[in-house]
Amino acid sequence: MRNQIVAGNWKMNNTTSETEKLLNELEKQTLNKSVKVYVAPAFTQLSQAVRQLEGTPIKVAAQNMNAAASGAHTGEISASMLQGVGVHTVILGHSERRSLYSETNDSLKDKVATALNAEMELIFCFGEELEQRKENNHFEVVRAQLAVLFELPEKAWDQIILAYEPVWAIGTGETASPEQAQEMHAFIRKEIEENYNSSLAEKVVILYGGSVKPSNAQEIFSMKDVDGGLIGGASLKASDFAAIVNAF
Ligand code: PGA
């Protein structure tokens, strides 16, 4: 059986005191032990979160990192810097990174390679925009986004978690229907099967992201090929995030 995962992407939210408060509240919640839980605070809050969550099963992930090992990259953070503060998981390719900070399938290829070489786990995000879905191009768009990963050796997939996030559902309150999510997740598994084999396709964890809330999580997570969620807005409130973790 595949891992069930719920990851909270805090985006550019939570100062030091807010992080402490939210994590304190989260630690008080009863969380389904069979679900792997992650939180992804901003860079400046990572070591604080690692320290505070020590001894708990909740893991800390970063929201981004640079492809280079070190050097003249003002404002950027490397894989070894993340690992130095105890972070071994990184979210790559989030749609806001793609749309606001010009990340492309090509530039992501380098980040993926760096993360894999550094033996980090990565949560690789992708998904189509509204126009692309309206034009019925969503499968082609996702296929092109995934092509970044399909050149990798099969072994690399031990470190990869996928997160399908239709851009039109992120932060909009509009969720993909459970059937739309299932249809895309099944397509993704088929793509993995075609590029590798069926046993790998069965093994890869595929999260859904985009306006997941306590009220819709159960329905979405009940879909056969949906293994959990990448949660934005609802991860900022401990009780909502816990309800989503407990929705399996
Ligand atoms: P949302 O964000 O849950 O607020 O829609 C999801 C994400 O951006 O990962």
- In which residue are the tokens 């980090």 written? 120
The predicted pLDDT at position 30 comes to 95
Q: Is 232 in the pocket of ligand 1 (CB under 6 A)?
A: yes
Q: Are 26 and 235 in contact (CB under 8 A)?
A: no
Task: Give the Cα separation of 148 and 112 in Å (integer).
Answer: 8
Strand pairing class (121-126; 89-92): parallel
Q: Cα angle vertex 128, ends 8, 10, to 5°?
A: 15
Q: Is 9 in the pocket of ligand 1 (CB under 6 A)?
A: yes
The predicted pLDDT at position 175 comes to 84
Strand residue runs (E) in the chain: 4-9, 35-40, 59-62, 89-92, 121-126, 160-164, 206-209, 228-231
The predicted pLDDT at position 104 comes to 96
The predicted pLDDT at position 214 comes to 97
For the question of whether the overall pTM of this predicted structure is more than 0.95, the answer is yes
Cα 170 to middle of ligand 1, angstroms: 5
In one-letter notation, the amino acid at residue 119 is: E
The predicted pLDDT at position 171 comes to 82
Residue 20 located in a structural domain: no
In tens, the pLDDT along 13-26 reads 999 999 999 999 99
Q: Residue 145 is part of which domain span?
A: 4-15+27-41+51-63+75-245
In tens, the pLDDT along 4-15 reads 999 999 999 999
Tell me which of 96, 103, 128, 165 is the catalytic residue. Answer: 165
Q: Are 187 and 224 in contact (CB under 8 A)?
A: no
The predicted pLDDT at position 203 comes to 98
In one-letter notation, the amino acid at residue 37 is: V
The predicted pLDDT at position 238 comes to 98
Of 120, 129, 224, 208, the C-alpha closest to 162 is 208
Residue 166 located in a structural domain: yes
Using alpha carbons, list the distances in angstroms from residue 216 to 33, 47, 179, 222, 230. 21, 32, 13, 10, 13
Residue 180 located in a structural domain: yes
Residue 110 located in a structural domain: yes
Residue 184 located in a structural domain: yes
Q: Is 94 a catalytic residue?
A: yes
234 Cα nearest atom in ligand 1? 3
Residue 192 located in a structural domain: yes
Task: Give the Cα separation of 170 and 153 in Å (integer).
Answer: 31
**What 8-state DSSP symbol labels residue 52?**
H
The predicted pLDDT at position 213 comes to 96
pLDDT < 70 stretches in the chain: none
Work out how many domains the chain is built from and give that number.
1
What is the CATH number for 124? Answer: 3.20.20.70
Q: Is 233 in the pocket of ligand 1 (CB under 6 A)?
A: yes
Residues 6+ apart with CB under 8 A from 139: 184, 187
Of 11, 6, 75, the C-alpha closest to 37 is 6
**Which residue's CA is minimally distant from atom 2 of ligand 1?**
232
The predicted pLDDT at position 207 comes to 98
The predicted pLDDT at position 174 comes to 81
The predicted pLDDT at position 1 comes to 83
